[in-house]
Amino acid sequence: MNNFNFKNERGFAQDLDKNDPLNHYRSKFLLPQNKNGYSCVYLCGNSLGLQPNTTKQYLEEELNDWSKYGVHGHTKAKRPWLTYHLQAREGFAELTGSKECEVIAMNTLTVNLHMLMASFYRPNKKKFKILIESTAFPSDRFAAESQLRLHGFDPKNGLIEWSPRNDELHIEDLKNILDKEGENIALILIPGIQYYSGQTLPMKELCQLAKNSGIKIGLDLAHAVGNVELELHEWEPDFAAWCTYKYLNGGPGSVGGAFIHERHHGNDGSEQLLGWWSNDLSTRFEMGTTFSPAADADLWQVSNPPVFSLTPVIASLHMFQEATFKKLRKKSIQLTSYMDFLIQDTFNGQIESITPLFNRGCQLSLVIRDSSLKGKEIFYSLTEKNVIGDWREPNVIRMAPTPLYNSYEDVFEFVERLKTSIHENL
Ligand SMILES: Cc1ncc(COP(=O)(O)O)c(C=O)c1O
């Protein structure tokens, strides 16, 4: 992927920035500063994205509408609260390659995994196992284990793990598991991008495999949404869920998103958890005792939408729509490739990315190969130098330049400071 004729020079990085058609988006974000007032090099959008300037304005609009209308804000607010979740539909649909009727803003990620497993994990005595990857994000593992227990199964034999080889998950290994165990597996719960290694999984192929094996499949898109191309409607997972505080810049703990494929719409809701907001809008406020199911993904919405934690998501989605994902992804590939090039050119194998070259989004997961160096100390030293990334046990520094607010010079500066950190720790 390094066919960009990159140069390991600050002037070259600055030229790339000058010619970047998206460079004006950086000034639309608030960059954290250190105590001396210097903006940090922020490469942590894979963990928590930055705050767009417009977030405050959107939140103030809601606060003003609340003060102006009180309860009537449900219908009179600029963005009426009664159907507030619909404000996120177009943006979510565009970023996930879904139909608008298939996506919904609700809850938070792990809660959504549970809500969706309540519908799609319907085990019986023979077919009850859940397949995850062995290095799954702990929340996904705990969610899957607790679902097994809730249905009376022991995770010790109910949970099947697909393990990476040389830091990568290989689809052939999954096929081998399915050959042996397929008929006992009820659900595959798998990420779109693996949080530790940054590997993008072959989601289309995984969905096809699951479908051919008669197994339900759900995708955790925490690290994929707003990062890589998704075509959920076409790939046909049964469900997917994501958070919005990473690449979607929705703020800490912001409302998550969910996808339920259209083929599951139109049911009576008898196989899932329900609430009054799952009821069709036309009869929701009749306050009757008969449930009338919403016809689309809204059926999975249980409560009324948490307006204030959804507002920043809406502000951010509007920015994504304006910038267009196609342009963002194009820059992202170049930005991450530049970081990869600088790491290779500067460190000559002393530090390496374990993120697969052709299957990746923004993030590179860096491992210190030089045994005389301690990764965690290098990471802390970088943090002191006002570079923000994150450390994941046991030994990875994750750095994710994002195309909306990161520059090529950020990437260059990060590698310069990494060089200094390494010299200091030798
Ligand atoms: C892959 C993955 N799954 C699940 C979660 C948990 O998200 P939440 O706390 O919003 O439920 C995260 C959080 O970072 C994550 O990265």
Ligand 1 pocket at CB < 6 A: 108-110, 137, 139-140, 191, 195, 220, 222-223, 243
Residue 426: the pLDDT is 77
Q: Are strands 129-133 and 159-162 parallel, antiparallel or unpaired?
A: parallel
What is the pLDDT tens value at each position of the chain, 426 positions in all?
456 899 999 999 999 999 999 999 999 999 998 888 888 999 999 999 999 999 999 999 999 999 999 999 999 999 999 999 999 999 999 999 999 999 999 999 999 999 999 999 999 999 999 999 999 999 999 999 999 999 999 999 999 999 999 999 999 999 999 999 999 999 999 999 999 999 999 999 999 999 999 999 999 999 999 999 999 999 999 999 999 999 999 999 999 999 999 999 999 999 999 999 999 999 999 999 999 999 999 999 999 999 999 999 999 999 999 999 999 999 999 999 999 999 999 999 999 999 999 999 999 999 998 888 888 999 999 999 999 999 998 889 999 999 999 999 999 999 999 999 999 887
Q: What is the 364 CA–ligand 1 centroid distance (Å)?
A: 18
Sign of the dihedral defined by the CA atoms of residues 203, 335, 352, 243, in that order? negative
Residue 34: the pLDDT is 85
Q: How far is CA 228 from the centre of its chain?
A: 10
Sign of the dihedral defined by the CA atoms of residues 164, 337, 195, 179, in that order? negative
Residue 303: the pLDDT is 96
Residue from 48, 107, 137 whose mutation best tests the ligand 1 pocket (most atoms within 8 A of CB): 137
Residue 1: the pLDDT is 44
Q: What is the 207 CA–ligand 1 centroid distance (Å)?
A: 21
pLDDT digits (tens, 9 = 90+) for 29-64: 999 988 888 889 999 999 999 999 999 999 999 999
Residue 3: the pLDDT is 62
> Measured between alpha carbons, how far is residue 76 from residues 61, 82, 83 in Å?
12, 10, 11
Packing angle between helix 138-150 and helix 109-120, nearest 10 degrees? 40
Distance, in Å, from the CA atom of 164 to the CA atom of 168, rounded to the nearest integer, reads 5
| Residue 161 CB neighbours (<10 A) | 13
Going by alpha carbons, the residue nearest to atom 10 of ligand 1 is 109
